């Protein structure tokens, strides 16, 4: 804080810590700065002397944090002994050891129990406190007026941990909740230890044992609670609520339940009497601030319970909720075991001390956020739920002046939000609203439209050859549809790579149109040469990168492979064709059929890891056979063959060079770049075909069909070409990955589409060469611009869909060439690739709960988003360091790692793979959970993990692993955000509502590794960061993963 902001007027409330004035010279004058430097404050942590108290106020980790902030810390010798914290641990953390009197003479004293009389010293602990010092402890000022008087005489400032307001901002320092959490957990354990059966039922060969019935007054299982907010929470756990017939809210002030009316209490007691005869275990924790605990279970009710029943009274210290409770004792009354311990948190001292220490540290940091000075100022006027509210409520004494009770805040607490329905519930309601008749009618209309389209194509068919080609296209599309659905998600990246290679069959179109001798003799022939050249880059590069990826999935335990033997069928196929050609046979159409079937086999082979390398080999055979058949049909002159060979060899060499050098993490941009080549080849081929065929169109029986597919092929190719280049730029970081939302972009795209469609009218109507060529060049320009405007408006989060859509476009462009050149092979392969990309696009959209038009047009929000105000995320996050994360990992037996794009960007897969290997060697179950849209293209993370040596059988898809999270000890979220965002299920108004996500928050503990608490690509806050079972490990993913790897190695090797 700047010095000028520290200039304040003198206030009588300031004491040595809560507001000391320190003069600071500013030029020739002095300003006064409130507070004391942390380095000037001596913190004391005494040993607790209350009977059976085993806790300590600050753990060694807490001491380390205080020292790091600048405090000097003294700890009484043996203070942490009962909590399993040795004096040596405190010394290592930076504390010095001292006796009791020295500790209480410190400026700031941190305790658990309120000060009591010290028999050993013959003096009350309050009297040992240094005058005008500050005490932080449980105080209970309403119940301890004499203690408050003693503290007042010492002119102390007192922060009562029991008076921290129950508001959202104070959750991190609410010690009552922390201790109640431990007490409740211990109560269940004690009940289980003293009950004669398992809680769960059991069915064995010896017979059936029923489950225990548990009544918890105030929490869950079969439970009774007065507060509606708690009621809704525990219903969500599957508990059965008990409610009385009298309607009355139990919501009181400050987060507590209020005292109920006489009628309500009578109905309540009747309900309890009935339940006592039925249940086996009762756990009660009803308290009224400042008063004796209410009696909820009478002696008669206890006597009506079954022998062997157990009751646990968590309110025993305040008198007890059971009339038969004996405070601090465990005994049996009328066959019912009574547990009335008053020190349950202290019976788990290490856990309780650690949490209490965290509560105190967070409170001190919250009330005095300044980095250099310790200072806070209680104010009598404050708003609800603010830091001022916390300070005024917690400070019960200031410089000896009793400030208890705190005045009410100026503003009232916000009303309890109405429990909104989950996304799943709303979707179920939406589905139920659609009648079976309407659903069936919609389906029938879709089939009617499809069959009508078939009739229409038959009516406009110019000849039987067109009908045959449509038949081939339809059957190939159906085969491709069913084949692609069988591809395992882990191999989606190799699938896209192999389809990329196969789409290089656009080279066939270029070869067909090439002419001249060693060089082209005309512009169309030059365009055809370029088409063949760029297509060859795709073919060679695509197959090589596919092979590289598939090789990464090999495991050391896999049997040896002899894939080079697949060269035999390749040689027989191509060589046999050459022999048949020499013998005078013309079997090109059968060669095309065989090549097409090989391409189908290439996709089918990717349905399993064991056949994936066979699939890649079949793809190579199919493409080689198709090109050989094309050359055989053309029978080019030696000079032209040399031109063709040189073009394809040059392109192939370039493709191999690029594919060999590319890093696997850069695979998405490689795929995008290769797609652009397919689009460019399609444009060049279509324009060249029109230029060559135009003189013959007047006599061509299917002239209109030729012109239609030439126009469509040019349009699709142009969009694919420019869209792929923009996608490449975004993925490579050349262009900003954020969506470029041009003003009126929808109108711009609509205008471009209208102009493209409109340009087809003169193209089809006119027989002039200049007009036709102008229209083709015009649509190529319009489609190129449209590819830019469409893709630029799509953000980085939607890149997986962009890649798959472009993949589909390249297939349809190849189909258009097949129709244009009356080539069955190009039509078959185009249909395969088009359907492959379409299916992957559908999978990606389902994985985001988005519609394809919504993604392509740069829209926001899922199909389930209601559009209201998003849910407000409240609470504070918990941070851990690497050492704490290592301890959590070592304690966990079942671990799931959910990586995201952050892991890819940081190239952190290598240390993670090594860490997983070490953990698995220690007998831990470690698996990966992959979201379909994690990464920049489908299956990218699977490939990256395979590259690092992670066995593919421990890498599971979202649908395979989601049901395992509740049984998982620890989930590590590395560089993921939107794909693990619980708002997708919890907030119907979120723009990602309904999006399937990895349900990591259901695991017992979560560690989220990110640079910051910032949002992901979808710009949606993530509630899991603030959930109680989540710890944030902030920092660079690569450095953090390296540290985890090193620490794991130190721990086990």
Q: How far apart are CA 14 and CA 617, in angstroms?
A: 82
Q: How far apart are CA 334 and CA 192, in angstroms?
A: 19
Q: Pinpoint the alpha helices (H) of 635-665.
A: 638-661
Q: Which of 848, 827, 829, 849 is nearest to 837 (CA)?
A: 829
Measured between alpha carbons, how far apart are the two ends of the chain, in Å?
47
Q: Three-class SS of residue 207?
A: strand
Q: Three-class SS of residue 83?
A: helix
Q: How far apart are CA 999 and CA 257, in angstroms?
A: 33
Q: Report yes or no: 494 and 549 within 8 Å, Cβ to Cβ.
A: yes
The residue whose two tokens read 């600050």 is 58
Number of Cβ within 10 Å of residue 441's Cβ equals 11
Q: Three-class SS of residue 848?
A: helix
978 classed as catalytic: yes
Structure token pair of residue 689: 């075909």
Give the helix, strand, coil percentages of the chain, each rounded to 5. Answer: 55, 10, 35
According to DSSP, residue 494 is labeled H
List CB contacts of 274: < 8 A, sequence separation 6 or more. none
Q: Which of 339, 307, 353 is nearest to 190 (CA)?
A: 339
| The length of the chain, given as a count of residues | 1053
Number of Cβ within 10 Å of residue 927's Cβ equals 20
Identify the H or E element spanning 135: strand 134-137
Burial letters for 120-130: b for 16+ Cβ neighbours within 10 Å, e otherwise? Answer: eeeeebbebbb
Which of the residues 174, 313, 399, 978 is marked catalytic?
978
Structure token pair of residue 168: 């959202």
Q: Report yes or no: 725 and 669 within 8 Å, Cβ to Cβ.
A: no
Number of Cβ within 10 Å of residue 930's Cβ equals 27
Q: Report yes or no: 747 and 713 within 8 Å, Cβ to Cβ.
A: no
Q: How far apart are CA 336 and CA 330, in angstroms?
A: 11
Q: How far apart are CA 425 and CA 985, in angstroms?
A: 10
Q: How far apart are CA 294 and CA 982, in angstroms?
A: 39
According to DSSP, residue 411 is labeled S
Q: How far apart are CA 138 and CA 147, in angstroms?
A: 12
| DSSP line for 139-194 | --TTT-HHHHHHHHHTT-EEEEGGGS--SGGGGGG-HHHHHHHHHHHHHHHHHHHH
Q: Three-class SS of residue 59?
A: coil
According to DSSP, residue 272 is labeled H
Q: How far apart are CA 148 and CA 336, in angstroms?
A: 40
The DSSP bridge pattern shows strands 207-209 and 202-204 to be antiparallel
Q: How far apart are CA 124 and CA 4, in angstroms?
A: 44
Q: How far apart are CA 514 and CA 536, in angstroms?
A: 14
Supply φ then ψ for residue 301, to 5 degrees: -65, -40
**φ/ψ bin of 84: left (φ > 0), alpha (ψ from -120 to 50), beta (otherwise):** left
According to DSSP, residue 320 is labeled -
Number of helices and strands in the chain (H, E): 35, 29
Q: Is 994 exposed, middle or buried (0-12, 13-18, 19+ CB in 10 A)?
A: buried
* Residues designated as active site: 978
């Amino acid at each position: 804080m700047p010095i000028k902001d520290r200039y304040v007027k003198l206030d009588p409330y300031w004491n040595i810590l809560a507001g000391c004035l320190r003069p600071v010279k500013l030029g020739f004058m002095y300003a006064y700065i409130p507070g004391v430097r942390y380095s000037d404050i001596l913190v004391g942590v005494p040993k607790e002397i209350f009977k059976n108290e085993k806790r300590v106020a600050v753990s060694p980790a807490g001491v380390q944090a205080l020292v790091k902030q600048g405090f000097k810390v003294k700890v009484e010798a043996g203070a942490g002994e009962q909590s399993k914290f040795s004096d040596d641990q405190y010394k290592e953390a930076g504390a010095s050891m001292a006796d009791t009197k020295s500790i209480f003479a410190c400026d700031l004293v941190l305790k658990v129990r309120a000060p009591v009389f010290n028999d050993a010293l013959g003096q009350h602990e309050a009297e040992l406190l240094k005058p005008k010092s500050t005490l932080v402890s449980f105080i209970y000022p309403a119940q301890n007026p004499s203690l408050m008087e003693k503290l007042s005489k010492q002119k102390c400032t007192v922060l009562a941990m029991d008076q921290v307001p129950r508001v959202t901002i104070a959750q991190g320092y609410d010690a009552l909740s922390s201790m109640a959490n431990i007490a409740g957990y211990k109560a269940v354990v004690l009940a289980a230890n003293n009950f004669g059966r398992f809680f769960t039922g059991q069915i064995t060969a010896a017979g059936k044992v029923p489950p225990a019935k548990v009544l918890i007054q105030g929490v869950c299982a079969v439970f009774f609670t007065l507060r509606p907010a708690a009621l809704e929470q525990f219903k969500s756990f599957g508990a059965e609520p008990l409610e009385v017939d009298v309607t009355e809210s139990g919501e009181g002030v400050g987060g507590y339940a209020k005292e109920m009316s006489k009628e309500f209490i009578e109905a309540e007691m009747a309900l309890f009497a009935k339940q006592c005869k039925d249940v086996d275990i009762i756990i009660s924790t009803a308290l009224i601030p400042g008063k004796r605990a209410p009696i909820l279970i009478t002696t008669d009710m206890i006597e009506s319970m079954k022998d062997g029943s157990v009751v646990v009274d968590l309110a025993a210290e305040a008198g007890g909720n059971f009339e038969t409770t004996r405070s601090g004792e465990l005994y049996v009354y009328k066959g019912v075991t009574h547990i009335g311990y008053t020190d349950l948190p202290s019976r788990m001292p290490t856990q309780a001390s650690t949490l209490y220490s965290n509560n105190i540290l967070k409170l001190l940091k919250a009330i005095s956020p300044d980095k250099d000075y310790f200072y806070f100022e209680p104010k009598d006027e404050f708003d609800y739920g603010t830091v001022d509210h916390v300070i005024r409520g917690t400070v019960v004494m200031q410089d000896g002046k009793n400030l208890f009770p705190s005045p009410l805040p100026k503003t009232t607490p916000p009303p309890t939000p109405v429990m909104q329905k989950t996304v799943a519930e709303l979707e179920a309601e939406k589905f139920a609203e659609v009648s079976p008749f309407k659903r069936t009618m919609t389906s029938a209309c879709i089939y009617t439209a499809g069959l009508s389209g078939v009739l229409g194509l038959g009516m406009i068919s110019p000849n039987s050859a067109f009908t045959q080609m449509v038949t081939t296209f339809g059957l190939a599309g159906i085969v491709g549809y069913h084949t692609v659905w069988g591809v395992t998600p882990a191999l989606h990246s190799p699938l896209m790579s192999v389809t990329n290679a196969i789409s290089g069959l656009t080279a066939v179109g270029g070869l067909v149109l090439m002419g001249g001798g060693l060089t082209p003799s005309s512009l169309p022939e030059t365009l055809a040469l370029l088409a063949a050249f760029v297509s060859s880059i795709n073919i060679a590069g695509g197959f090589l990168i596919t092979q590289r990826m598939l090789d990464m999935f090999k495991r050391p335990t896999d049997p040896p492979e002899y894939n080079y033997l697949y060269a035999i069928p390749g040689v027989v196929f191509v060589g046999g064709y050459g022999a048949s050609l020499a013998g005078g046979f013309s079997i090109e159409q059968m060669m095309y059929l065989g090549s097409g079937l090989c391409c189908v086999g290439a996709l089918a082979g990717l349905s399993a890891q064991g056949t994936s390398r066979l699939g890649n080999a079949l793809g190579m055979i199919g493409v080689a056979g198709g090109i050989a058949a094309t050359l055989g049909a053309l029978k080019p002159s030696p000079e032209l063959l040399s031109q063709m060979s040189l073009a394809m060899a040059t392109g192939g060499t370039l493709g191999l060079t690029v594919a060999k050098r590319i890093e696997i993490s850069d695979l998405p941009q490689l795929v995008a770049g290769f797609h652009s080549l397919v689009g460019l080849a399609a444009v060049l081929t279509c324009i060249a075909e029109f230029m060559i065929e135009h003189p013959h169109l007047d006599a061509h029986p299917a002239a209109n069909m030729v012109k239609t597919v030439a126009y469509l092929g040019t349009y699709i190719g142009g969009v694919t070409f420019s869209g792929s280049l923009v996608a490449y730029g975004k993925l490579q970081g050349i262009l900003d990955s954020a969506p470029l939302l041009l003003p009126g972009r929808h109108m711009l795209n609509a205008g471009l589409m209208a102009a493209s469609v409109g340009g087809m009218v003169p193209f089809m109507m006119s027989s002039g060469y200049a007009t036709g060529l102008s229209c083709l060049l015009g649509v190529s320009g319009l489609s190129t611009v449209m590819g830019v405007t469409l893709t630029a408006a799509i953000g980085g989060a939607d890149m997986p869909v962009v890649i798959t859509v472009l993949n589909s476009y390249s297939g349809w462009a190849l189909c258009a060439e097949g129709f244009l050149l009356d080539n069955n092979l190009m039509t078959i392969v185009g249909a395969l690739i088009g359907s492959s990309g379409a299916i992957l696009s559908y999978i990606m959209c389902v994985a985001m709960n988005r519609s394809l038009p919504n993604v392509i047009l740069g829209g926001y929000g899922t199909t389930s988003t209601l559009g209201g105000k998003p849910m407000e995320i409240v609470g504070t996050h918990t941070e851990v360091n690497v050492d704490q994360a290592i301890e959590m990992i070592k304690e966990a037996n079942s671990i799931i790692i959910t990586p995201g794009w952050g892991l890819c960007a940081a190239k952190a897969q290598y240390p993670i793979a090594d860490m997983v290997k070490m953990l698995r060697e220690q007998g831990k179950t470690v698996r990966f959970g992959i979201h379909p849209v994690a990464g920049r293209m489908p299956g990218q993370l699977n490939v990256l993990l395979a590259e690092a040596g992670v066995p593919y059988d421990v890498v599971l898809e979202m649908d395979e692993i989601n049901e395992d999270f509740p049984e998982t000890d620890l989930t590590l979220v590395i560089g993921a955000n939107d794909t693990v965002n619980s708002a997708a299920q919890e907030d119907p108004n979120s723009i990602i509502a309904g999006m399937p996500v990895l349900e990591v928050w259901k695991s017992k503990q979560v560690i989220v590794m990110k640079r910051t608490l910032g949002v992901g690509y979808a710009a949606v806050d993530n509630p899991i960061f603030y959930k109680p079972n989540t710890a944030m490990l902030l920092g660079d993913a690569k450095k953090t993963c390296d540290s985890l790897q090193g620490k794991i190695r130190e721990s086990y090797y």
